[in-house]
Structure 1
Amino acid sequence: MAQDVIVLTPKMPDPRSLLVGLFAGGPGLSLSEDHGGGVVQLCGPDGVPLVALDAPLLVHTPGEAERLLGPEVTAPPLPYWWMETRASSAVPEATPLAGSVGGRLTTLLGGTVWPPQTATTRTVEIPGDRDRTDTARHDGFAATVDVLTESTAVVLSDRPVLPLTTRLADTLRTATAANRALHLVTPPHTRLTLPLHRALSGSPNRWVVQDPLGGYYDGSSGIRLAWRDGTFTAATDTEPPMPPVTSERRLTLTFRTVHAPDADLTIGLGLEAAWRHLTGAPPVGWSTAEPVNLPWSPAQLTDLARTRAPAATHVVVIGDPVRPSIATLRVSRTTAGVAQDVTLSLGYVSPTDVPLDAVEPLAAHLVAEHRLTTMLTTLQAGRSDLTFAPGPEAPPVPVSFTLGARDVHSVGLDHAGRPPLPTPPRRLGRPNAPALHYLFADGPGIDPWTQLRRLTEHLESA
């Protein structure tokens, strides 16, 4: 299994310290660059990549090291530098080499190495006479991919919490562009962060878990998997296991706002308003991947979106660690204007902690101030730390749906206001141009998903 070694330092890894670290394998190794220079690869005498080092990130966000590496990690005071290194799974010496790189960097710069037992400063001898074929270096995958077939890129990883790193995000984009699936293989103790779990949720991508008793199973559904014809597929005659029972809950709001592409438009204000309504505070950080390293700034987010336009911008947003909360935001240009698609999830240890009574006032605020078009609110039994353990989870349950004023007008207020639901919708916003907020009933013999389907069919039939 490939080993990630992460270096946290109070000082920036400068060229001198990096050079000392890269000599952990002696003078016979060489360097190469990939992903536009964002990744430096330490290669053996035969040219095979051994360790990939990502560009260091300056982390301003509280709690990121603890969220992604575990509560026992000792991170330097904020802000600190975060450097990810990945040892190849094909070379036994690669993991101790990555640990020696990390140990040398922290000897010079201070800080800590994770996992701590990997840190050394010894020189790792790398044999150079092995007959080895490195197929994963082709097609732009570099040392990120452990197995590459005609249909699938397989990445092996062993971390307690696996996030959507820049490297994994790039690998997913490369696989998609090459018409390949990305299959992420982990041991059963690994959990995925919410952004990575969402990124892998679309077919043909898959989270694959090694079963300690032998074989593999799907990390999201729990069904048995088999390796056939260069990819992981569902084994025959397999039944998914039942999801575990838990009192913890995840509240998820999926909403879209659309604004005219004005010069004074600021991105992220609707998302910030939702955060304040549900937690009492704004987000603390944002980034294009994990770890989330930048302090929350709608102005900087707006600058990034403008720089990337007309291409879409995808970012991850995080809240204060006291209240687990995380969101993904996609900014794109549409025929109607600048669309901001948000999926915001919050974790609670008990169903009684979920602020369901705050959802309708939030919807009213987003309608009045941020041009909300739609918002679906769901509640799901699941880990309150917003990570995903291997195996199935209970499906989310729809709580409410909000239709913005523009779409109510398009459907027709009379038609949209008479849905096939147990209770009529509530009007939000201006009396002469209202939005509608629909509530779904839940109880014995009442299926909220059926109500949502009927509502959707009703609105589309106008």
Structure 2
Amino acid sequence: MTKDVIALTPKMPDTWAVLAGLYAGGPGLDVRAVHDGAVIQLCAPDGRALVSVEAPLLVQVPGEAERLLGAGVPLPDIPYWWTEARACTALPEAERLAGSVGGRLTALLGGSTWPSTAATTDVVGTPAGDVTPRAVPGAAPPAVDVLSDSVDVLTDSTAVVLADRPVVALTTWLSDVLRTAIATGRALHIVTPPHVHLSLPLRTALTGLPNRWVVQDPDCGYYDGLSGAVLRWQDGTFAPEPCETGATPVAEAFAGTTGRGDEHQLVVAFRVLHEPVPDLVLGRALQTAWEALTGTAPAGWGSAEPVNLPWSTRQLTALARDRAPEPTQLTAVGHPGRPGLALHRITRAKDGVAEDITLTLGYGAGETPPLDALAPLADSLVGGHGLVSLLASLRVARRDLTVPPRFEKPPVPLSFTLGAADVRAIGLTHARRPPLNLRPVPLGPAARPALHYPLGDGTDARAWTVLQQLSAHLGAAQRV
């Protein structure tokens, strides 16, 4: 299992501190820089990377370490520096080597390490010549070489990462691994013990085959953490293991209860479309939704986890402009008192600039999701942000928004809002008279309204049938 050690320091690791950390293995280890210098690796004499140290990240958003590492981590005051050292599985000494890198950084700079028991300042000797290289296809292109240095197992079809931390998140490193795996025609399989959870951004990134979350299980061996399918390692990848009838069995551990029936998540997914004017500022629709549902703006944003930048629509817009015409995928988080996370995708559309946003908010026992705020929110997005559509739903799921390796019920629709442009294209008369017991509420200007369709209170799964019938009714008019 790959072991990660994270140094959380109040001071930025400077050159001398990094050098002290790199001497954790003594003078006999080689050092090299990869990923355009963003990662420094301590290497065995045969060239195998033993520990990879990422460039320090300045975290300016409260609650991120607690969200990803747990509440018991002693933290420096905000802001602090987050430096990850990842140990490979080639040698048992690699884990202690990563701990010594982290311990030396905190000894010089203050702060703490995660896990706290990993930190030392010992010099960790490593035997020469005892590292078994992983199998990599012959005459591998540079992308495969980079992938080979980043993952635990690499085959012709699959890149395997072994992880053991409270929440496996979509870090910059893991994003690069996923992109490189896709570019080389490989699947990414993340293998974890059963106590590990995924963050929502990573769960979204792994959605759909061939990528998988593989969970170790003492009863069945391995199972898919998102579908429950029992898996086995065959032909260089994890694949479902069918039973005698040909069906794929579901692991008992996946089907077990989560014990979170009194916790809920409110999910608001919407799309807004803007004219491509020079002074366009992005992120305001997301801020409007966050304020309407929580009373505060988002706490921070970033392109990976941990989310490290204070919320700023100006900086967010600048990044999207720099990346255009390529899409920009961002994550926003809320303040610790109200768990909230948004996936925010910005793209060039045929008619302008589109923002696709999925905002998820967590509620515990005794906390009531603000369902009455959904219609006013839709009205605000129609009037000031070019709303195309909005679907709100409620689900029984963890307040902390992490994804466990167990079955969770799908969300139940609460309401659907269709923007003014699509209402006009479909025809107001047709759109406002679906063959259902629904009374849509007009929003925005009377001459060009949007329509808001209440679907239920989130407790009756039959709302999905109503939504499907409504979608069919609206789609029929567009096909004429």
Query: What TM-score do you get using the length of structure 1 for normalisation?
Result: 0.97
Partner of 1:149: 155
The answer to whether 1:319 aligns with 2:334 is: yes
Choose the corresponding residue for 1:412, options 417, 427, 431. 427
Task: Tell me the secondary structure at the aligned position of residue 129 of structure 1.
Answer: coil
- 1:388 pairs, out of 386, 403, 420, with 403
* C-alpha distance in structure 1 between counterparts of 2:440 and 2:56, whole Å: 50
Q: Alpha carbons of 1:190 and 1:131: their partners in 2 closer, same or farther (altered >3 Å)?
A: closer
Residue pairs, 1:154-173, within 5 angstroms: 154-173=160-179
Pairwise CA distance, 1:242: 5.6
Report what 1:177 is aligned to: 183
Paired AA for residue 97 in structure 1 = L
1:269 aligns with 2:275: no
Structure 2 counterpart of 1:232: 238
- Distance in 2 (CA, whole Å) between partners of 1:2 and 1:86 is 7
Q: Please tell me whether residue 290 in structure 1 is matched to residue 296 in structure 2.
A: no
Q: Distance in 1 between matches of 2:160 and 2:239?
A: 13
Distance of 1:310 and 1:446 partners within structure 2: 40
Q: Which residue of 2 aligns with 1:133?
A: 133
Q: Is the 8 A contact 1:249 1:351 kept in 2?
A: no
1:86 alignment partner, SS class: strand
Aligned partners of 2:38 and 2:88: how far apart in 1? Answer: 18
CA distance in 1, matches of 2:458, 2:200: 28
SS at match of 1:427: strand
User: What CA distance in whole angstroms lies between the structure 2 residues aligned with 1:61 and 1:365?
Assistant: 27
Equivalent residue number for residue 344 of structure 2: 329
Q: Which of 157-166 and 214-223 deviates more?
A: 214-223
The 3-state SS of whatever aligns with 2:465 is: helix
Deviations 1:362-408 (A, max 9, x none): 00000001101011111111001100111110111111111100111
Equivalents in 1 of 2:128, 2:458: separation in Å?
67
Say yes or no: does 1:72 pair with 2:78.
Answer: no
Decide which moves more: 38-47 or 320-329.
38-47
Q: Which residue of 1 aligns with 2:139?
A: none
**CA offsets per residue over residues 47-67 of structure 1, 9 Å max, x none?**
100011111111110111111
2:351 aligned with 1:345, yes or no?
no
Report whether the alignment pairs 1:357 with 2:372: yes
- 1:89 Cα deviation (Å)? 1.4
Alignment of 1:307 with 2:313, yes or no, is: no
Deviation at 1:42, TM superposition (A): 1.2
Tell me which residue corresponds to 2:20.
20
Is this contact kept in 2: 1:192–1:388, CA < 8 A? yes
Cα displacement (A) at 1:350: 3.6
* 1:155 alignment partner AA: V
Aligned to 2:381: 366
C-alpha contact 1:152 1:180 (8 A) present in aligned 2: yes
Displacement, 1:8? Answer: 0.5
What is the CA–CA distance in structure 2 between the aligned matches of 1:258 and 1:135, rounded to whole Å? 47
CA shift in 2, pair 1:185/1:445, >3 Å: closer
- Counterpart of 2:202 in structure 1 is 196
The answer (yes or no) to whether the contact 2:294–2:338 under 8 Å persists in 1 is yes
Gap runs ≥5 in structure 1: none
Aligned equivalents of 2:18, 2:458: Cα separation in 1: 60
**1:393-448 Cα distance to aligned partner (Å, 9 max, x none):** 01111111111001111111111111233212111011000001112146998711
Give the superposition deviation at 1:135: 3.9
Corresponding position of 1:461: 476
How far apart in 2 are the matches of 1:131 and 1:79?
39
Q: CA deviation at 1:352?
A: 5.7
Q: Secondary structure at the match of 1:455?
A: helix
What secondary structure is seen at the aligned counterpart in 1 of 2:434? coil
Q: Does 1:252 align with 2:275?
A: no
Other-structure match for 1:450: 465
Q: Shift of the alpha carbon at 1:244? A: 4.0
CA distance in 2, matches of 1:407, 1:36: 46
Counterparts of 1:392-403 in structure 2 under 5 Å?
392-403=407-418
Q: What runs of 5+ residues in structure 2 fail to find an aligned partner?
A: 137-142, 244-248
Matched residue pairs, number? 462
1:123-143 C-alpha deviation (Å, 9 max, x unpaired): 111111225223469342143
CA distance in 1, matches of 2:219, 2:96: 28
Matches of 1:410 and 1:126, distance apart in 2: 69
Q: Is the 8 A contact 1:87 1:94 kept in 2?
A: yes
TM norm structure 2: 0.93
Q: Does structure 1 conserve the Cα–Cα contact (< 8 Å) formed by 2:148 and 2:154?
A: no
Distance 2:148 2:304 in 1: 19
Q: Conserved in 2, the CA contact under 8 Å of 1:442 and 1:448?
A: no
Q: Once the 2 structures are TM-superposed, how far is the Cα of residue 90 of structure 1 from its aligned partner?
A: 1.8
Q: Does 2:124 correspond to 1:124? A: yes
Distance (Å, rounded) in 2 between the aligned partners of 1:430 and 1:444: 32
Contact 1:21 1:100 in 2 (8 A): yes
**Paired letter, 2:334:** G
Q: Cα deviation per residue 1:279-314 (whole Å; 9 max; x = unaligned)?
A: 000001011101011000000000000000000111
